[in-house]
Amino acid sequence: MNQSPPSLMSLEQALEQILNSIAPIEDVETLGIMDAFGRILAESIHSPLNVPPYQNSAMDGYAVRSADLPTSGETTLELIGTSWAGTPFAGEAGEKQCVRIMTGAKIPAGADTVIMQEDVQKNDQHITIGVGHKAGQHVRHIGEDIREGEEVLQPGKLLKAAELGLLASLGIAEVQVRRPLKAAFFSTGDELCAVGEPLEEGQIYDSNRYTIFGMLKGLGVEIHDLGVIRDQREDVEAAFTRAAELADIVFTSGGVSVGDADFVKQTLEKLGTVNLWKIAMKPGKPLAFGRIGKAYFFGLPGNPVSAMATFYQVALPALHKLMGQTAQTPLRLKLRCLDRLKKRPGRIDFQRGILDYEDGELVVRGVGAQGSHILSSMSRANCFIILPAEQGTVEAGSRVEVQPFSSLM
Ligand code: AMP
Ligand code: MG
């Protein structure tokens, strides 16, 4: 059992240590592509065919031979048939002949160019075309989108709508994906009252369990909610043991700040290994990370905003790695900040911000009170404003780095 004493650590260092110690889950299953929605691909997908599989028309019009295009004046071509999408023209376009063609229909043998229907004069079984057409125009080529044998998706890709469509377009009905990650969580603290129970003097409602639930749910994780656990050694120990049996990863919140740290540490050193860190980030300084049995463990800070910020900034990359997903780089934007943001140099700060438009320019404003207990600020906000460690107070009008919440998933 190794426990390091609480020490101040940069966010990068903490992330590096955590990611280095995580091995992705290995179990793979084969699913129909609709059932695979939201899962992580576990194989490399190579295209079994060319897309498009045959030369086809990008327009409704007439398929012609480029050799017949007039260089001056006009040319009249004989119309010998029609190529429909799904029912190609069986014959061949000979000299001075053309074929009526629909969008997506196969280019008939002999033809190599499409004239838009708006650009022809049609009379009976003939069309007349003028100058200004380019050889090969309005033709979609074989393999223009995807070449046969090309790698189209790599292992670690999250399968969303576009990926399902892409797989279907290649005729692929089933794929290998990782099994869903299993996460268990509970809250500890004698001041916590479970929702649905009357609030006693000196109590607050347990909210972290709900934010943790929501953040995990958004990732498609299988969830085991173990409720609120009293601050009793036996109860906490039993909860940890059960959580580690149920899940690949266990989340708790609270109980990791200085006053409580020994308690969590003592419980966990019996069951596994734990590191208690003070990360140089705000909000969310105290963090515990370790293992209980085979499960990984995150002890998030108790303050509701700290718990969320730590989840997004520290636990999310760890979850991605554990579920076998390629490392993500959440979107960051550099924008003008309309408000003055108070900050002391020393720790990286994840303030809550609101993206807005002003005179056609994307800008950001602060949410006002930035306390780590003010959960309503997370709900009002739609982005983190990331202020680097060495940064002091930001004056209104300065440019700041912003991370939209929508990119954190
Ligand atoms: P702790 O880290 O246990 O000292 O908690 C820090 C702060 O977070 C205290 O104000 C706690 O009341 C609060 N807190 C801890 N757990 C929760 C929770 N599950 N829901 C809401 N607030 C919490
Ligand atoms: Mg507590």
Average of per-residue pLDDT across 313-331 = 97
Contact 324, 336 (CB under 8 A): no
Q: Which of 190, 195, 199, 204, when mutated, tests ligand 1's pocket best, judged by the most ligand atoms within 8 Å of its CB?
A: 204
Tell me what pLDDT residue 7 has. 60
CATH number 2.40.340.10 given to 333-407: yes
CATH of domain 56-140: 2.170.190.11
Q: What is the pLDDT of residues 347-359, one digit of tens each?
A: 999 999 999 999 9
CA separation, residue 110 to residues 91, 96, 107 (Å): 9, 11, 8
Structure tokens, 279: 């990360």
121 vs 126: CA distance, rounded Å = 8
Of the candidate CATH numbers 3.40.50.300, 3.30.70.360, 3.40.980.10, 3.40.80.10, the domain formed by 11-26+180-323 belongs to: 3.40.980.10
- pTM, entire model: 0.90
Average pLDDT of every residue of the chain: 94
pLDDT reported for residue 268: 83
Instruction: Report the residue among 303, 305, 311, 378 best suited for mutation to probe ligand 1: largest number of ligand atoms under 8 A from its CB.
Output: 303
The 10s digit of each residue's pLDDT in 363-402 is 999 998 888 999 999 999 999 999 999 999 999 999 999 9
Q: Is the CB of 324 under 6 A from ligand 1?
A: no
How are beta strands 295-300 and 286-292 bridged, if at all?
antiparallel
> What residue ranges in 117-193 does DSSP mark as E strands?
121-123, 126-129, 139-140, 151-153, 174-178, 182-188, 192-193
Reference 308, options 394, 378, 232; nearest CA is: 378
275 lines ligand 1 (CB under 6 A): no
Among residues 316, 303, 310, 302, the alpha carbon closest in space to that of 249 is found at 316
User: CB of 283 closer than 6 A to ligand 1?
Assistant: no
Sign of the CA dihedral with 161 first, then 167, 173, and 177 last:
negative
- Cα torsion 118, 122, 127, 130 to 10°: value is -50
pLDDT at 63 over 50: yes
Q: Which fold has domain 28-49+158-178?
A: Molybdopterin biosynthesis moea protein, domain 2 (3.90.105)
> What are the tokens at 63?
């398929």
pLDDT at 257: 72
pLDDT bin (cut points 50, 70, 90) of residue 270 is confident
pLDDT at 276: 84
The tens digit of pLDDT for each residue in 157-214 reads: 999 999 999 999 999 999 999 999 999 999 988 899 999 999 999 999 999 999 999 9
Whole-number Å distance, alpha carbon 302 to ligand 1 midpoint, is 4
303 lines ligand 1 (CB under 6 A): yes
Is 268 or 361 the better-scoring residue by pLDDT?
361
Contact status, residue 84 vs residue 105, Cβ threshold 8 Å: yes
Q: What is the structure's pLDDT at 1?
A: 40
How far does the centroid of ligand 1 lie from the alpha carbon of residue 291, in Å? Answer: 22
> Is residue 111 pLDDT above 90, yes or no?
yes
H-type alpha helices, 188-338: 208-217, 233-246, 258-271, 304-310, 316-322
The share of the chain scoring above pLDDT 70, in percent, equals 97
CA–CA distance, 160 with 32 (Å, rounded to integer) = 14
What is the phi/psi pair of residue 336, to 5°?
-75, 130
Domain residue ranges of the chain, discontinuous segments joined by +: 11-26+180-323, 28-49+158-178, 56-140, 333-407
114, HSE (Cβ side, Cα atoms, 13 Å): 25
Phi-psi region of 151 (alpha: psi -120 to 50; beta: other; left: phi over 0): beta
Report which protein residue has its CA nearest ligand 1's atom 17: 302
Banded model confidence at residue 284, pLDDT cuts 50, 70, 90:
confident
pLDDT of residue 258: 66
Bridge partners for 396 per DSSP: none
The pLDDT of residue 334:
98
How many Å apart are CA 306 and CA 291, to the nearest integer? 22
d(CA 298, CA 296): 7
What CA–CA distance (Å, rounded) separates 80 from 339? 71
Confidence of residue 230 (pLDDT cuts 50, 70, 90): confident
Distance 260 CA to ligand 2 centre (A): 7
